[in-house]
Structure 1
């Protein structure tokens, strides 16, 4: 007597060893390409963010202000460096996972599915944490902090702050895409 093992996926039975549906694989591939593009763009936008301004600094109230050229760069803030690094790591992982998805042609073992699921979960955690870190520093730059006497810097470095905000928003969208990939991966598990 021949016994075939079947898995339930979205209410439909699928025999083990058979390929997953083309639309599901296409959706996964599309989402992975979207995640690749989003993480690459977020890392690039923040990585090239730089603005130089001449800022008047008043040392003594009776003297005229001293004009000092000041530059704002993402590499000056560790939270922004972390965000760039997290996006670069997620981008590299996504490129590898796209290759795995394309090579597997829908036939994936449980261990490969688990490896991709765990990788996607790690990217969710990494991207959400970097979004939080960069977002917190961005808010500090936009609003300042009266308790520690940090001044608002986005009034001076508006272009830099806007680029940082766009990068953080794109990273957040990439995090959500990875979260959806985790759900999609979890639905494939037997």
Structure 2
């Protein structure tokens, strides 16, 4: 990993941490809050690609593990990994990787703007929502003792906000791609 890659990973980890400063929105029927940090996961994958995007999320998760209060609501420490949101945290790493992988495979400089927008949106939805939800809901289901389907239905409340985040990630990734492409060169 080059110095440039390390700087980009640290920058996007910082973006995810800053997004955690926005207060979480909680619901009584599900112990997982709505946070802005999942937007950072989508941005990291779409803009940096699979490896660097996942590395940025891994760095944030490591900061949480050593006890820094970098999660929304000022949470941090190993206790977070025994709680209901642990699956989402692990899902960030996998989600950023899948988001980046899809973006690397689908987005081309030779494409029309519309196709680039569509590719970034698809990447953000599949990786940033689908993969993160899959791991998060599975862990939440295990922790709560409820059926996976029941937990998944309760998690539908997050979909509208996450689709908005995917649109923001798509717009930002397309702007960066047009002005200063950071995705790895694809052959």
Higher relative contact order (CA 8 A, sep 6+): 1
* Bigger radius of gyration: 1
Report the TM-score, using the length of structure 1 for normalisation: 0.31
More strand by share: 1
More helix by share: 2
Report the TM-score, using the length of structure 2 for normalisation: 0.32
